[in-house]
């Protein structure tokens, strides 16, 4: 049984707590949040009694095997390194960090303290991605020349993010897109050109872009168009739209990367995303995001290095920073 700690009791922290509550190979032992009221609230809901406002105190006081870092994107470095230094494995919410300096510090700590670290880019565990990866590796598409990946979310969801002005669609959404295409296509990023549009969120007093569009080229010849949008209207039926197209010299793949073939019609149209939360006959919720969390636990049990690790996480952040720079300067950025 893997004894888990949790740093961060916000939206993602609550999701991790639910995941560990039904995991047969892990147990959530302690929860930490700077706002102890949040830790107490989550502790009550998840049956965890060891609650902390200081993660260093949690690390000193609890016998933990691993810790999930579910803090905001820009606050991963210190808690991740503290956990590694304390001899704990780390499951880090995506992205690894928002600066290359922070990424490098975490990467170096992984090597120094000999612990395992995984960034939870959970889309790797979608059934469609499993299938696409196998087909690409088998050469069914031949050399992939270009790709398109798009992630769109509704405005109301964006507005629930407490630190929305401290992030952008680049880090919040294109991080998923970037990891997905780099995982599938391989190759090293070479250059980026990006544009950001402002209007809806800025009119509501929020200083962050509505959309970001980027073109990424790889050294293997692939060109990828990436589109992130988090201002879709409240009535947007798919809720989250994640689309991928790959065009190769021998074939092509089109996927929505979601289970939307089950349609529900009541008082308004909607797509039922049962891949993200279907309950099996034993009462266990199944889905790609949960599979990613359980994959981390299984890797610890089997003493296998989970992926993606710090090096891959740093590569994603390098691309995201180039996208931000290109959008800001209006020119191509070399990587």
* pLDDT higher than 90, residue 222: yes
Whole-number pLDDT of residue 281: 72
> How confident is the model over 279-284, as a mean pLDDT?
68
pLDDT band at 266 (very low <50, low <70, confident <90, very high): low
More confident residue, 267 or 246: 246
> How confident is the model over 137-161, as a mean pLDDT?
95
Domains of the chain as residue ranges with CATH: 2-115 (3.40.50.720), 124-282+315-334 (3.30.360.10)
SS3 133: helix
pLDDT band at 235 (very low <50, low <70, confident <90, very high): confident
CA distance 237 to 84: 42
Whole-number pLDDT of residue 274: 43
pLDDT band at 275 (very low <50, low <70, confident <90, very high): very low
> How confident is the model over 302-308, as a mean pLDDT?
97
Mean pLDDT of the chain: 93
Query: pTM here?
Result: 0.94
Whole-number pLDDT of residue 234: 87
Over the stretch 172-219, which tens digit does the pLDDT of each residue have?
999 999 999 999 999 999 999 999 999 999 999 999 999 999 999 999
Beta strand spans in the chain (E): 2-7, 26-32, 50-52, 66-69, 89-93, 117-120, 144-154, 189-197, 211-218, 223-232, 241-248, 252-255, 263-265, 269-271, 278-279, 285-286, 333-334
Listing DSSP states for 45-86 in one string gives HHT--EEES-HHHHHHHS--SEEEE-S-GGG-HHHHHHHHHT
pLDDT band at 282 (very low <50, low <70, confident <90, very high): low
Whole-number pLDDT of residue 254: 92
> How confident is the model over 308-325, as a mean pLDDT?
98
% of the chain with per-residue pLDDT over 90? 87
Over the stretch 144-153, which tens digit does the pLDDT of each residue have?
999 999 999 9
> How confident is the model over 120-125, as a mean pLDDT?
96
Over the stretch 15-40, which tens digit does the pLDDT of each residue have?
999 999 999 999 999 999 999 999 99
> How confident is the model over 59-75, as a mean pLDDT?
98
Whole-number pLDDT of residue 299: 98
Comparing CA positions, the residue from 100, 97, 210, 121 lying closest to residue 164 is 210
End-to-end CA distance of the chain: 42
Task: Report yes or no: 5 and 62 within 8 Å, Cβ to Cβ.
Answer: yes
């Amino acid at each position: 049984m893997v004894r888990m700690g949790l740093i961060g009791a916000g939206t993602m922290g609550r999701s991790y707590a639910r995941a560990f509550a039904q995991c047969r190979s892990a147990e959530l032992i302690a929860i930490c949040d700077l706002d102890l009221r949040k830790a107490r609230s989550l502790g009550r809901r998840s049956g965890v009694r060891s609650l902390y406002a200081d993660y260093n105190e949690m690390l000193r006081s609890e016998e933990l095997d691993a810790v999930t870092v579910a803090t905001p994107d820009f606050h991963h470095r210190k808690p991740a390194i503290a956990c590694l230094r304390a001899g704990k494995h780390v499951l880090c919410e995506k992205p690894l960090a928002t600066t290359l300096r922070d990424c490098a510090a975490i990467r170096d700590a992984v090597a120094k303290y000999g612990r395992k670290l995984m960034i939870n880019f959970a889309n790797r565990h979608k059934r469609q991605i499993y299938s696409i990866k196998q087909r690409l590796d088998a050469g069914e598409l031949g050399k992939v020349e270009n790709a398109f990946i798009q992630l769109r979310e509704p405005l109301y969801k964006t507005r629930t993010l407490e630190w929305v002005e401290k992030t952008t669609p680049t880090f919040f959404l294109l991080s998923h897109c970037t990891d997905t295409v780099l995982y599938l296509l391989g190759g090293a990023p070479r250059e980026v050109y990006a544009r950001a549009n402002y209007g809806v969120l800025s009119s509501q007093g929020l200083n962050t872009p509505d959309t970001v569009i980027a073109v990424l080229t790889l050294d293997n010849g692939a060109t990828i168009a990436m589109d992130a949008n988090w201002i879709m209207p409240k009535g947007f039926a798919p809720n989250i739209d994640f689309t991928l197209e790959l065009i190769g010299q021998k074939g092509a793949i089109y996927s929505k990367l979601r289970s939307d073939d089950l349609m529900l019609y009541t008082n308004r149209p909607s797509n039922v995303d049962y891949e993200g939360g279907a309950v099996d006959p034993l009462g266990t919720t199944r889905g790609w995001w949960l599979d990613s969390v359980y994959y981390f636990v299984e890797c610890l049990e089997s003493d296998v290095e989970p992926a993606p690790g710090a090096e891959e996480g740093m590569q994603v952040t390098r691309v995201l920073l180039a996208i931000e720079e290109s959008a800001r300067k209006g020119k191509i950025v070399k990587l």
